Chains A and B, each alone.
Chain A
Amino acid sequence: DTGVSQDPRHKITKRGQNVTFRCDPISEHNRLYWYRQTLGQGPEFLTYFQNEAQLEKSRLLSDRFSAERPKGSFSTLEIQRTEQGDSAMYLCASSLKNIQYFGAGTRLSVL
Chain B
Amino acid sequence: GENVEQHPSTLSVQEGDSAVIKCTYSDSASNYFPWYKQELGKRPQLIIDIRSNVGEKKDQRIAVTLNKTAKHFSLHITETQPEDSAVYFCAARSVKAAGNKLTFGGGTRVLVKP
Contacts and interface: CB of A to CB of B under 8 A. Distances in A.
Interface residues of A, number: 24
Interface in A56-111: 56, 91, 95, 98-105
A91 B99 CA distance: 17
Contact of B107 (A40, A56, A95, A98): A40
A56 B6 CA distance: 25
B16 interface: no
A21 interface: no
Contacts of B45: 102
A91 B42 CA distance: 11
A56 B98 contact: yes
A45 B103 contact: yes
B90 to A, nearest CB: 8
Interface in A1-42: 3-4, 31, 33, 40-42
Given A43-B102, A45-B103, 5 more contacts: A3-B43, A31-B99, A42-B91, A102-B43, A103-B43
